[in-house]
Amino acid sequence: MSLMRLLLIRHGQTSSNVIHALDTAFPGADLTDMGRQQAAAIPAALADEPIDAIYASALVRTQQTAAPLAAQRGLEVQVRAGLAEIAAGIYEMRHDEEAIRAYVDAVFSWQQDPSRAVPGGENMTQVISRCDEVVQEIAAAGHRTAVIFSHGAMIRTYAAARADNISFDVVAPHWLSNTGMVVLEGDPRGGWEMTGWCAEPLGGAHLDDPGAGDPTVMPQLDSQP
């Protein structure tokens, strides 16, 4: 199997991001004006990438973020439910510190206990399995470079679970802004290596909104509303 590149890009800013809400259910919030600006900057940022396919989760914000790149490349956005955010379960749409801490504690305990589930949500085995199915589909189609528009916790968790050179302990405190990107190289059979981590928006730091940070990053918990 040939070496593949997966460009895992977090969606643009939404109104739920602004209030740090755990918004994981379908269909989810639309992009804000800032989110649309972030999405519009992606084609230029990826101008040198030879992209074969574009995938997005079923949540509307990832498809809206993918749209400018898909239009510029003349590619269809292939929507797959397996790329959705890790379900928040009983904490859905909450933005208080207690809920965020409980969600993060469950997700980033998975290195030790992959069977532990977010209450009312998913465990690691379920999450990684559904994302693996999409990645295997991409590989079977023969795509060498695929862009996957997904979600902050999902991208960071998948990278930690599948890349040989990083772990949950490394990923947990590393933030990923809206339209930040993680790059994995390898293949489903031989394994993956994380070769790039762009924490800021792909279009540049001027498109970042620190007030709408990823609530699932460990160091931010004490400052959550």
Q: Extract the tokens encoding 193.
A: 């290596």
CB 163 within 8 A of CB 194: yes
Q: Which of 11, 20, 143, 174 is catalytic?
A: 11
Query: Cα(1)–Cα(76) distance, rounded to whole angstroms?
Result: 24
Q: Extract the tokens encoding 178.
A: 């809206």
20 is catalytic: no
2 — alpha (psi -120 to 50), left (phi > 0) or beta? beta
CB 45 within 8 A of CB 213: no
Q: Which helix (H) or strand (E) holds 139?
A: helix 124-140
Q: What count of other Cβ atoms lies within 10 Å of the Cβ of residue 190?
A: 11
Q: What count of other Cβ atoms lies within 10 Å of the Cβ of residue 168?
A: 18
Q: Extract the tokens encoding 152.
A: 């902050």
Q: Which of 20, 85, 122, 151 is catalytic?
A: 85
| Residues known to be catalytic | 11, 85
